[in-house]
Amino acid sequence: MYLIVGLGNPGRKYEKTRHNMGFDVIDCLVEKHGVPQSGVKFNAMFGKGIIGGERVILMKPLSFMNLSGGPVREMVNFFKIDPEKELIVIYDDIDLDPGQLRIRKQGSAGGHNGMKDIIRCLGTDRFVRVKVGVGARPQDWDLADYVLSRFSDADRKVIDEGIEQAADAVEMAVEKGVDIAMNQYNKKKSASK
């Protein structure tokens, strides 16, 4: 069984912001696969379903981004998930162009506070992550203000495509393996002509 976690902040105030990429990808997966809402457990919304022939739990922590680790650890322990083989975390990345994906099997938090807390609470950085690019912070912007802001109309179309692709990448990782998903989706998007 896979635990697929999308990171974000709960509440209407944060909907469609850069920091809620993980929530948006989970919503996309829920819709595509008809995963029913199972309720709230360990301060997280979750649902159980099947993706690519595998049982999955789709999860959105409700603890706010910087405290994502507690709910993830509780779910991992309760459902006996092996983080190295059965955990996928989806989140935003300011070091990637809008909509660009990067899949990794392990690594540092890269300055992302939600990931820092998950690594701290799990005691390992050896788990799959799917990063969705939201673009670099403009020089005169505060980082928190930037990640909690919404996209321009021009970027929104690209981001919506990135969300769909991230959902496809998660499906491929579950069904065919992370290496195949990395080969398919870790390519830099070519600039449109």
- CA 9, chain centre distance (Å): 12
Report the catalytic residues.
19
What is the C-alpha separation between 17 and 134, in angstroms, rounded? 10
**What DSSP line would sit under 167-186, residue for residue?**
HHHHHHHHHH-HHHHHHHH-
Backbone region of residue 51 per phi and psi (left: phi > 0; alpha: psi in -120 to 50; beta: other values): beta
Tally of CA atoms within 13 A in the half-sphere of 124 that contains its CB = 14
CB-based contacts of 183: which residues, under 8 Å, 6+ apart? none
Could you identify the residue written with the tokens 């392990």? 106
